[in-house]
A and B are shown apart, each in its own frame.
Chain A
Amino acid sequence: MVALSSSAAGLPADGFVVFAKEDCPTCQMVAPVLRTLARTEAPLRVYSQDDPAFPADLDVVDDSALEQSFRLDVETVPTLIRIEAGREVARTVGWDRAEWERVTGLRGLGEGLPGFQPGCGSKSRDPGVYEHLVARFGDPGLGARRITLGDWDDEAEACFDRGWTDGLPVVAPTDARILRMLGGTTRKPGEVVGLIPPNLAPCTVEKVAINAVMAGCKPEYLPVVLAALEAALEPAFTMHGLLCTTCFSGPVIVVNGPIARAIGMNWGVNALGQGNRANMTIGRALQLIIRNVGGGRPGEIDRATIGWPGKISCCFAEDETDPSWQPLAVARGIAAGKSAVTLFQGYGVQACMDQRSRAPEELTRSLALSLAAVAHPKLAEATAAMLILSPEHYAIFRSAGWDRARIEEELHAASMRPGKDLIVGAQGIGEGISPKLADQMVPKFWRGGLLIVRAGGPAGLWSGILAGWPGTRVRDQTHPVTREIRP
């Protein structure tokens, strides 16, 4: 029951208040009942949400702005409220003769009408409306400072002017949009998620929501954004170093578990490309948080020599539709059936286009040869890498009974190369590994340094390689991070 306040000014101190809309068949049906109520001594105030001429022959107040509907928390029309001494004492919704008679204290209401007919949804509860009403008539409860633009300012340009974007337009973070975004999580807006590098600025769930709005996220993506941010802030991910590196790398987000399907992420055709809102905006939200809250901007603390377009967003899901394949997150310790993000420090997409190898041993050698080019063909154990195994390439392994562990093991063995071919100066190339390793067989990656993800469209005998970040060579200090997604 709602305690009426001065904000509900204009309501009778005693009497009845009804909310209705012309578009509601039940409201149409009870119009004669309202005329009956109007003839009693008790004052009657009828608010119409859509047509002030409805119901006809009654003194109707236009509530198309939905202010009173919001203030009295109307969820259904018709809603009948009895007020005594300025306070609500009884309420009923829809048409239920016994209830209407209880609330009004009158007998014989609505003769000829059925005893019961449910009402319709209040326009104040139409999708996307309620948050606007909270922003306009209520207390949005937001802590971030308000930026008010001039009457003729363009909000998209205003965001550019203030340095809030990654070079693409952003969605202006209005109160209604932020409130809607916060509906995507159970976490409190004021909760501090962590300190964002490089400035180590505290970041609340509300600030995450604001930047998620700007990135173009839907509210249901917010738990993924929050988990990705928490993963990025784990010391082992070294987000500060990844941000300020001269290397190409940025955070690459792989999403596993039921949430990927629930929010419509793409793991199939063009998985790393454009066209999927969740893929494109989740990674973008993380980068906007780093930029806006943390102060990490290209040319300032971000010193990438060349960079790569994935620093706007690089986020995709793993294809978990083949039960023979162990998902990445499960391989990294997350229980099967749980949703998780894995953050990898990576860049680029290099292809392994092999359309002729049919035996798993052939394909393994082929993939290892392509992986040798990561960072530089003469470098070894210098960076991690992520192999994105296409369905058609995986099918060759699956036919031979090779699972994730077998593929990893065989790739590790196939990546061994004679140190003498790789040392500094060998092959007439200055770059290379330490001469101390000349007599050893050297693996391209350390154990666990190659992450394998299954993704991509059903046709195409080629896989993709994302190179890693040289910072991860100090692998007890920095490495990819996997984190469960909480609601």
Chain B
Amino acid sequence: MSFSMRDPTAETGSQRRPRTAPPPTLDGATVALLDIGKARGSEYIDRLEARLAERGIASRRYRKPTNTRVAPTELLQQIATEAQVAVIALSD
């Protein structure tokens, strides 16, 4: 059974949690490229890495140990420390 509660705020914002706004520019940012471990994800990331490099944007590659589980906390902390934007290759 779902759990419900009441909003303690002035209800001036959306009921849904707002998404973090994308940065206005990638200049000076490091982009994390996360391979979740599914087939051909690395190909997508290869292309992205090359395209970013062409534009002079730094990127770093990361990989989940397995696509069947959530990313380890240490990996998420590492990405958050080293990058400002993340792109995740989600599917085959």
A residues apposed to B, CB below 8 Å = 142, 144-151, 153, 155, 161-162, 164, 172-175, 178, 196, 199, 201-203, 207, 210-211, 214, 288, 292-295
Q: Give the Cβ gap from B38 to chain A, nearest Cβ, in Å.
A: 23
A153-B3 contact in complex given A145-B15, A161-B17, A162-B17, C-beta closer than 8 Å = yes
Give the residue name and chain of the B residue nearest to A143 (CB).
B6
Show 18 residue pairs from A and B whose CB-CB distance is below 8 angstroms, ordered by the A residue: A144-B11, A145-B15, A146-B6, A146-B7, A147-B4, A147-B7, A149-B5, A155-B5, A161-B17, A164-B8, A196-B10, A202-B10, A207-B8, A207-B10, A293-B8, A293-B9, A295-B9, A295-B12
The chain A residue sitting closest to B10, CB to CB, is A201
A150:B9 contact, CB within 8 angstroms: no
Interface residue B81 (Cβ < 8 Å from any Cβ of A): no
- A residues near B15, Cβ cutoff 8 Å: 145, 147
Cα of A149 to Cα of B3 in the assembled complex, Å: 5
The CA-CA distance from A293 to B5 in the complex, in Å, is 16
B1-50 contacts to A (CB < 8 Å): 1-12, 15, 17
B9 to chain A minimum Cβ distance, whole angstroms, is 5
Chain B residues in 8 Å Cβ range of A164: 8-9
Contacts of B6 in A (CB 8 A): 142, 144-147, 173-175, 178, 210
- A151 and B1 alpha carbons, distance in the complex (Å): 6
Q: A161-B17, A162-B17 are in contact. Are A148 and B8 (CB under 8 A)?
A: no
Q: A142-B6, A144-B8 are in contact. List 4 more A-B contacts (CB 8 A).
A: A144-B11, A155-B5, A164-B8, A203-B10
Q: Chain B residues near A210 (CB, 8 Å)?
A: 6-8
CB-CB under 8 A from A142, the residues of chain B are 6
CB neighbours (8 Å) of B8 from chain A are 144, 164, 173, 207, 210-211, 214, 288, 292-293
B7 touches A145 (CB 8 A): yes
- B4: which of A174, A196, A292, A293 is its contact (CB, 8 Å)? A174
What size tier do the contact residues of chain B reach?
10 to 19
Q: How far is the CA of A362 from the CA of B5 in the complex (A)?
A: 57
Cβ-closest 6 pairs across A and B: A201-B10, A144-B6, A292-B8, A148-B4, A210-B8, A149-B3
Collect the chain B residues with CB atoms within 8 Å of residue A151's CB. Answer: 1-2
Known: A144-B7, A161-B17, A162-B17. A150 touches B2 (CB 8 A): yes
Q: Nearest Cβ distance between residue B73 and chain A, in whole angstroms?
A: 14
> Which residues of B, 57-72, contact A by the 8 Å Cβ criterion?
none
User: CA–CA, A161 to B16, complex, Å?
Assistant: 11
Give the CA-CA distance A210 to B9 in the complex, in Å.
9
Contact partners of A207 in chain B: CB under 8 A: 8, 10
Within the complex, the shortest CB–CB distance from B2 to chain A, in Å, comes to 5
Q: B2 — which chain A residues lie within 8 A by C-beta? A: 148-151
User: Shortest distance in angstroms between A34's beta carbon and chain B's nearest beta carbon?
Assistant: 34
B65 to chain A, nearest CB (A): 23
Residue of B nearest to A154 (CB): B3
Whether B9 lies near A292 (C-beta < 8 A) is yes
Q: How far is the CB of A192 from chain B (nearest CB, A)?
A: 12
CB distance from B55 to the nearest CB of A (A): 33
A141, chain B: closest CB distance, angstroms = 12
Contact: B3 with A148, CB < 8 Å?
yes
Q: In the complex, which residues of chain A have a beta carbon less than 8 angstroms from the beta carbon of B10?
A: 196, 199, 201-203, 207, 292-295
In the complex where A145-B15, A147-B15, A162-B17 touch, is A173 in contact with B9 (Cβ < 8 A)? no
Interface centre among B7, B12, B17 (most CB of A within 10 A): B7
Task: Tell me how far the C-beta of B72 lies from the nearest C-beta in chain A, rounded to whole angstroms.
Answer: 18
Task: Tell me which residues across on chain B come within 8 A of A199, comparing CB atoms.
Answer: 10, 12
Q: Which residues of A contact B9 (CB under 8 A)?
A: 164, 292-293, 295
Interchain CB contact under 8 A, B12 and A201: yes
The answer to whether residues A149 and B4 also contact, given A161-B17, A199-B12, A201-B12 and a CB cut-off of 8 A, is yes
Residues on the B chain within 8 Å of A172, using CB? 3, 5
In the bound complex, CA of A174 to CA of B4 (Å): 7
Please name the residue on chain B nearest to A172 by beta carbon.
Answer: B5
* Closest chain A residue to B6, Cβ basis: A144
How far is B11's CA from A147's CA once the two chains are assembled, in angstroms?
11
The CA of A151 and the CA of B4, in the complex, are separated in Å by 10
Among B5, B9, B12, find the residue whose CB has the most chain A CB atoms closer than 10 A. Answer: B5
Least CB distance, B31 to chain A, in whole angstroms: 25
Which residues of the other chain, B, contact A214 by a CB distance below 8 angstroms? Answer: 8
Give the complex CA separation of A151 and B9 in angstroms: 23
Q: Which residue of B lies closest to A207 (CB)?
A: B8
By CB atoms of chain A within 10 A, which of B3, B8, B17 has the most?
Answer: B8
Residue ID in chain B nearest A148 by CB atoms = B4
Q: Among A173, A211, A292, point to the contact of B5 (Cβ < 8 A).
A: A173
Q: How far is the CB of A149 from chain B (nearest CB, A)?
A: 5
Specify which chain B residues have a CB less than 8 angstroms from the CB of A292 in the assembled complex. Answer: 8-10
Q: Which residues of B contact A146 (CB under 8 A)?
A: 4-7
